[in-house]
Structures are given as C-alpha cells and as structure tokens.
Structure 1
Amino acid sequence: MRRWCTNAREVVVGEGAVTVVLAHGYGVTQASWDKILPSIAHVNKVLLFDWDFINSVAGADDGEEAEARYTFGRFADDLIALMDEREVRGAVFVGHSMSAMVGCIAAARRPDLFAHLVLLCASPRYIDSEDEGYVGGFEDASIHAMLGAMESNFQAWVKGFVPNAAGSVAVEEHIKHSFLAMDPVVALGVARMIFLGDEREALDVVPTSCTIVQARHDFAAPPVVAEYMQGRMASAGTGVTMEIVESAGHFPQLVASARVADILDGVLLPLHNKGAYDAVGAPVHVASDVEVDGGAIDVMT
C-alpha cells in the first residue's frame, strides 16, 4: 500500500534545536503554511509534507475502494513513519483541521516523537449528538446532504463551499485551486472519514501537552468544539490551553498569519529555553538534507 504523505522537505536555517512538523488539512497542501513558515524557520528546523489525497487518483495504488481505505489511524501511521524516516524526536507538531486528530492519535501511539501538539481548527466529531449533549456544529442530515452534493457535482460543491471556508476573499482562489486538484472520488472518501468520523475517545489518551488554536468564526469547527476538547483532555490529565484567533473561516494560518505565528512563538520559546530532549534525556538529532455573525451555513453548497 502506498504511503499517504509525499513531497516531504526540511527547512533548516541556523542551528535550531526544536523541530516543528507542519501538517496541513483537508483540501490544501503544505503551501497553506507559507505565510508563517519564515517566522518559524528562522530559529527552528521545520518538516513539511503533503498528504497524498491532493494528487491521488482513485484506484491508482491498489484494489481497495477509495472510500474505505482512508482512516485516521492509517494517516497517523504514515506520520509516524515519516518522522522515523527523518529521525525526528521531541517535535512540536502543528496539525490543521483533520491533521490535528491525526497528531493526537500518533502521539498516543508514539509519545517519544512529540514534545507538544498545536491543534489548529480541530474537531473530533462534526455531527451533533443530542443524547450525549455534544455539539459538533452540524446535524447528521446536513453532513449527508453535503456528501451527496460532493458526489453529485464536486466542482460545483467546491465553488460554493470554499468562500465559506476561506474567511477572506484574498485567499479564496488559492484554496479553491487546491480543492479542485483533488480527484473527486478520493476527495469524497477522505471527506467521509472526516465528517462521519468520531475520534472523541482519542482525546482521552493524548500523552503530550497541547495548545488548541481556534478561529473565532470558524463554521466548520466552532469554538464550542474547542471548549469541549479542552475540557475532555484536561479531565483526562492532559496539559492543555486554548488560544482564540479573531478571524473568520477555517484557515487562520492564511487570514491571520501574524496572530498564529505569535501563538507558535509562545509555544516554542519555553522549549528553546530548556533545550530539546528526547524521552531519555539525550539531545534530539534531526537529519537535515462564512458567516462572521455565526449564522447557519448551508454545507451543501
């Protein structure tokens, strides 16, 4: 089975002791980090990569149905494999959207790889569970209607969805281009994994301290979800804090890049002060080489 992460690259400027791993979210590529990369790379080693759903073609790798082969656990295994391959230990992992939960699962499986998780616009469950009192932001019928719209006419769905998700006209074309680069069948398979999934139990076993970063007006992952994550993780004993970014849309690293960079600086500074160490105390070695008013949004468009 082919690996799901490609185009891995390391950015090394100077002798930064901390490695930052940047994992992009659904529909975009590592280019979504471009606005904050210079700030991070100035004093840190940075590892970036692309999840392969951007360039995958359904049926190109094996006989498994595209909609069945994508799972959070398998993305986590690929992240672990990449970090092992690049000899990364004790990293600060920044996961956007779906990658946030991938990072939580990977950290539970391999705590030695991670010093801190930054969970940007994360959600463990998008569908409301009324009997449990859980608010994910969407009703079950709305999610299935959205998936139906994707299956019926993917390009039309992208053109309606991206303006809500972008949060700024300035970044709409960039995001739309990335979304449209996905094979529609692959895109639907990954979307089913994300929007129908329930990874709430993963929050109970995260062994690494976390910073949840939430956009104030994110229709996909509203602040109530971030509050739920913080409460559940804290109850499980995870050290967790939350930062709110005063921006709209699901991509604050693009529309409020200075604020996101400042938050990351705050996470990284204590690690620089004490030095980066692996689980047994040895120095880490890294190989070099939208509705703003909060009203309802029709996710079908």
Structure 2
Amino acid sequence: MGFGSSDDTTTKGRKLLEILNVRMVGAGCRVLVLSHGFGTDQSAWNRVLPYFLRDYRVVLYDLVCAGSVNPDHFEFHRYTTLDAYVDDLLAVLDALGVDRCYFVGHSVSAMIGILAAIRRPLLFLKLILVGASPRFLNDGDYHGGFEREETEEVFAAMEANYEAWVRGFAPLAVGADVPAAVREFSRTLFNMRPDISLFVSRTVFNSDLRGVLGLVQAPCVVIQTANDVSVPPSVAAYLKAHLGGRTTLELLHDEGHLPHLSAPASFVHVLHRALTTTQ
C-alpha cells in the first residue's frame, strides 16, 4: 500500500488499520509491537498480553494472510516476498504515530521485523525474535532444518487435503503435550484460506535473509525453545553470530514452535527479561 500526498497517506493509513484489525492497548509510555507468525493471528498473544498492559502501549495487528483478515485483501502478486509485509508493518506504525518501539516477532514476523529495522533503524529500540529463521532450507554447511524435497512434500500435502495436513501439522508444531494450544493453533490454521496458506508457506520457505542480517543495528534477543520442529538450535546460533546488532540468545526449556501458546508463563518471564535488560 504505497503512500502519496499527506491526505492520501492518512486515508490509506486509516484503511490499513481497519483491514489488519489493528489495536493499541495498555497504559505505559513505551510502545511494544506484537507480530504473530504463520498460521496464527493476533489472538496468539492473548495469554501473554495481560502481563504487559501496565508498562506498555501494545500494538497488535494481523498479517494480511491471517484468517481473521478478509482474504480479498491478500494480493498474490504483491506478497511474493516479505517486503510487502514490511511495508504493511511500517505503514501501521506510521498511521499510529509510533516513532520508537520494541518489536516482538514470532516465526515469519521475526524476519519481517529484521527487514523493517534495516529499512528504518531509528524506529526499533530492540528486536525480540521468537522461533526465527533466516532460511529454512539446508544449504551446504548451513543447517536450516529442511531439504527442498521435504518442503515440496509438505506443499503437496497441503494442496491435496488441507484439513488433514492441519490435523497432522498442528500437534507437531506445538510440540508440547498441550491440547488447548493444539486446538487454538488448529483453529487459526483452519481460518486461513488454503490457497493463501500454501502461497505464504512457499514464500516463507523460499526466503533467504542470511545476507542482510549484518545490516541490523538494533539490539536483538533470539528466543529459542529446546525442541522446535521448524527451527533447529543451529539456526538460533547462526542468528546470534550474524546479526549486526548486539545479540543475546535466550533458551527456553519448553518444547515447540509456539511457546507463547503452549508455555505462556515461562515465555512471559523470558520476554520480560528480554525487554528490560539493557544491552
């Protein structure tokens, strides 16, 4: 959503806030942005949000691919790379008048945050990257966790029977034996239109942001669980070694790709430390 004149910018900004279900809640003077990952929407933060409302004004929004957004707004020709999602994030923050913020990005949103911080370094005080991966595919000495053939099998399964794929994938992604988290993740996956879900999955698995990590200036905290089916520990170590900003690694003893759903208490503890520790 490109911007023209100031009036045009204001109108488009307001429209985008409506499309992406943007909310700003809380009473603090600092701004905290919570950006969800693939297959969820802003409701993924429900178990985490109450702990930060006193000290932060919290911005929540839905990625345009989320099932909570009218699928008519998903422009396949535009969202072929993560850059369009970065445009949306920056437009949301501009429309809200946010000039400095802490950013928490889960999964694909971690990469969206990295790209946004490269583009607008003064906007981001700190990046907290949860279950982040600059590249999911293995490449020489780099172990991203997946061979291309494996991803093609995943895409074929999604295309053949989306419901069956969700029922198999959700428990694997959650990892831990937390039925409520599996149900919640399944619900938001089912809310996505299957063709959009498949398209976004292809976009994410074909992304490779390793070459730009060094351009990040903001301090970063990488939060990695003990066992994540989507992101092996080697990826977290790679991020720590290659991000340009001063980077710390927080290891959660909990399992799974969605600790904010499956282990909110320990996740809140680590997130609070990540936000308040000076670097």
TM-score (norm 2): 0.88
Pairs within 5 Å for 1:1-301: 6-13=20-27, 16-55=28-67, 60-61=72-73, 66=76, 69-130=79-140, 133-167=141-175, 168-233=178-243, 236=244, 238-270=245-277
Deviation for aligned residue 1:53: 1.1
Provide the rounded CA distance (Å) in 1 between the counterparts of 2:187 and 2:73: 24
Provide the rounded CA distance (Å) in 1 between the counterparts of 2:263 and 2:250: 13
Secondary structure in 2 aligned to 1:268?
Answer: helix
Aligned to 2:10: none
Deviation for aligned residue 1:269: 2.6
1:157-197 superposed Cα distances (whole Å, 9 cap, x missing partner): 11111110112323111110100111111111110011121
CA contact (8 A) 1:166 1:249 kept: yes
Unaligned stretches of 5+ in structure 1? 272-301
Deviation for aligned residue 1:202: 2.4
Provide the rounded CA distance (Å) in 2 between the counterparts of 1:269 and 1:216: 23
Q: How many residues align?
A: 261
1:111-143 superposed Cα distances (whole Å, 9 cap, x missing partner): 12110000000001111012xx00001111001
Deviation for aligned residue 1:248: 1.4
CA RMSD of aligned residues (A): 1.9
Provide the rounded CA distance (Å) in 2 between the counterparts of 1:141 and 1:270: 41
Q: 1:162 to 1:256 in 2, by over 3 A?
A: same
Secondary structure in 1 aligned to 2:145?
Answer: coil
Provide the rounded CA distance (Å) in 1 between the counterparts of 2:63 and 2:48: 19
CA contact (8 A) 1:67 1:188 kept: no
1:243-264 superposed Cα distances (whole Å, 9 cap, x missing partner): 0011111101112212221122
TM-score (norm 1): 0.82
CA contact (8 A) 2:79 2:85 kept: no
Provide the rounded CA distance (Å) in 1 between the counterparts of 2:210 and 2:16: 25
Provide the rounded CA distance (Å) in 1 between the counterparts of 2:212 and 2:153: 27
CA contact (8 A) 1:100 1:119 kept: yes
Provide the rounded CA distance (Å) in 2 between the counterparts of 1:253 and 1:53: 20
CA contact (8 A) 2:167 2:186 kept: yes
Aligned to 2:11: none
Question: Percent of aligned pairs with the same residue?
Answer: 36
Provide the rounded CA distance (Å) in 2 between the counterparts of 1:171 and 1:265: 21
The runs of at least 4 aligned residues of structure 1 exceeding 4 Å deviation read: 1-5
Q: 1:145 to 1:210 in 2, by over 3 A?
A: same
CA contact (8 A) 1:155 1:180 kept: yes
**Which amino acid counterpart does residue 35 of structure 1 have in structure 2?**
R
**Which amino acid counterpart does residue 23 of structure 2 have in structure 1?**
R
